[in-house]
Amino acid sequence: MKLVSWNVNGLRACVNKGFLSYVEQTDADIVCVQETKLQEGQISLALDESYRQYWNYAVKKGYSGTAVFSRIEPLSVRYGIEENEEPEGRIITLEFEDFYLVTVYTPNAKRDLSRLEYRLEWEDRFRSYLLQLDAQKPVIACGDLNVAHQEIDLKNAKGNHGNSGFTAEERGKMTELLDAGFLDTFRHLYPDRTDVYSWWSNMPGVRARNVGWRIDYFIASARIAPNIVSADIDCEILGSDHCPVRLEVDLSRENG
């Protein structure tokens, strides 16, 4: 099973920059997007008709929002962590026979860290939610988690210590999540790989020089580690300030 996650930073703009061609090329079973930045009725997405579409719109126009396009029909779909509690459209959960899929757009602490306290509280609720799901069946969670976990996950670690997305508090919450029984699928396969990022600032020349951050992830229940076939980052794909990340799993494999 092939899965894709991409923070498109405005889906309508990304469609004009090759989004549909990329989806066709990857031939994924499930495509998750974050920062759709649109409201219901503002786009008619010409996806292959085999994809079922699930949308979580933010109340605020032109802000946040998530979507999942799945060729596999889910048993159930849930929007937000708790019913009607997520006005920013940040989470969609699809339940399948063998696992839960969660796409997420984690709140940004903001440059001045004015939203850091909210972010940390949100992280605790999100981790608790994933653990509730994981108690029932394995979880695959993907999206823009807005944190570079380790120094290896950004180009200029020394100069960014304490900055939004690389504070000790945010990195600590990621550590807590992984310690709770989950794994970073890319680092699981490539623990020492450097210079592979998923987001670059829009400042001139930054992407060309690959001065980036790895803040987009596929996180999975640790017990399905033997089922991971591949985990990739499509750094060369343009269309957003983020690039897509991919995961392939074979859940038919016997774990032991």
Q: Cite the active site residues.
A: 105, 144
What letter would DSSP give residue 81? S
116-150 burial string, b = 16+ CB within 10 Å, else e?
beebbebbeebbebbeebbeeebbbbbbbbbbbbe
Q: Which residues 6+ apart lie within 8 Å of 84 measured at CB?
A: none
Q: Which residues 6+ apart lie within 8 Å of 178 measured at CB?
A: 184, 219
- Cα dist from 91 to 54, 70, 87, 121, 160, whole Å: 11, 15, 10, 16, 28
Residue 164 sits at φ, ψ, to 5 deg, of -50, 130
Spatial separation of the C-alpha atoms in residues 105 and 119, rounded to whole Å: 12
Q: Are strands 216-221 and 182-184 parallel, antiparallel or unpaired?
A: antiparallel
What SS3 class is residue 143? strand
Residue type, 226: P
Q: Yes or no: say if 87 and 58 are a contact pair by the CB < 8 Å rule.
A: yes
What SS3 class is residue 44? coil
